[in-house]
Every structure is written in C-alpha cells, then in structure tokens.
Amino acid sequence: MRHIPEQRPLIAPSLLSCDFSRIAEEVRAIEEAGADLLHVDVMDGHFVPNITIGPLIVDAINRHAHTPLDVHLMITDPDRYLSDFRKAGADILTVHWEACPHLHRTVQAIHDLDADAGVSINPSTPVALLKDILDDIELVLIMSVNPGFGGQRFIPQALEKVNELRLLANERGLTDLRIEVDGGVTRDNSKALQQAGADILVSGSAIFRSGDYAEYIRALRA
C-alpha cells in the first residue's frame, strides 16, 4: 500500500475530468503538478445515474501512478467489488453510507484487504449518523454535490458539515481521521473548507479545465 502523506491539506485531483484517451500522460502531468492523491470516481448507474469506470481502468491508472489511489465507490453493494478494486491498486476505498446496510462489516472487509477505509455521506445525510463508525475508519468523505457528475456547483451547507465533523472528531480525540470534501471545490472555497477542518480537497473540473494544473493546485492549497 502506498503511504498517505501526513501533511495537510492534501489535494486529490478527480480524474473524472481528465482526458481518458491520454490517461498515462494525464496521470504523469497531474502528479508533476503536485497532486498528493489521485481521486478515482467509480459509478455504477444504480447508486448514481452515471456510469464511469471499473477495476480494469483503475488498474490501468495504477500502472502509471506513483501517488496513492483514492477510490470513491459510488456503487450499490460495494462489498462485492472491494477486493477487485484493491487488486487494481486502490489504497483508500471509500464507500457510501447510503449504500451499506452493514457498514461496520464493510469497513472490516476493507481493512482485511489492507487498505484505508473511507465512508462518504451525501448532501442530505447528517454527520451525526457517522457517530458509531467514526472510531473504525481512516477517512470521511463529505459530498458537497449530489454524486454522479463532475462540474456541479458546490452546496454551501457542506462547510457546516465539515465543521461539525471536525468538532466531533476533536471531542473523540480522533486526530488521525481525515476529512475529505468532494464536489464543486475551487480556489474560491478551498480556504473556507480548510478553515472548517477539511484535510483533503478533491477537485476535478476546476483543475483539469484550468490550463495550468500546477498553478491551480497551488491556489487550492493557499
């Protein structure tokens, strides 16, 4: 497993907005530009309306990657595919709270595969529902758009949720828990997100449409 860097914030470009016909070049370019993690969006056309990529393409990305793969599973019944995505190179496996009736078991299965476990919540899912799983996971992914597509507008309520989760994590002494935010993250809201307590910023369309990946990643950190 690749090591997840300690420093904060980490920038995780979402490859969903890259040019998949040039995936090797895009991976090289985004890593050279300063990406800390590569965020990979897996969608199944059931949990979310869109269909994206499966283990085969994650494996192709992995062959060119040096930074850890942060695999965001927007799929129903993720348990069936955890091992496939781990074999394909996922270092972090994030499942959706809404897709996992036996979340504790799913998290255990991720740990048994020797990967870091993340749990994501949709915009309408309250932070409080994570209370009984927080001690067992490495990462919470707060969705700041409804999952399914890149290029959507940031839902400002996500800021409050990050703040609430940071307070909850502090109360519990969970200093290692990473808080990641995904959807509509740009240079205009990255500072507020960090101030609210976000450790990992996912950004897709803003980075890949910027024309200068390195400059944009620097701006997100600032």
- Among Zn ion, ligand DX5, none, the one that 16 touches (CB under a kind-dependent 5 to 8 A) is ligand DX5
Radius of gyration over alpha carbons of the chain, in Å? 16
Total binding residues toward ligand DX5, as defined by CB under 6 A: 22
Pairs from 124-128 (Cβ < 8 Å, separation ≥ 24): 125/97, 125/98, 127/161, 127/164, 127/165, 127/168
Write out the binding residues for ligand DX5, residues 117-176 only, by CB under 6 A: 145, 147-152
SS3 per-residue string spanning 1-33 = CCCCCCCCCEEEEEHHHCCHHHHHHHHHHHHHC
Whole-angstrom Cα distance, residue 139 to residue 72?
A: 11
Q: Is 41 a catalytic residue?
A: yes
Q: Does 89 engage in binding with ligand DX5 (CB under 6 A)?
A: no
Q: Does 9 engage in binding with ligand DX5 (CB under 6 A)?
A: no
- Interface residue with ligand DX5 among 98, 180, 182, 199 (CB under 6 A) is 182
Q: Does 16 engage in binding with ligand DX5 (CB under 6 A)?
A: yes
Q: Is 182 a catalytic residue?
A: yes
Q: Which residues bind ligand DX5 (CB under 6 A)?
A: 14, 16-17, 39, 41, 72, 145, 147-152, 182-185, 202-206
Catalytic center residues: 41, 182
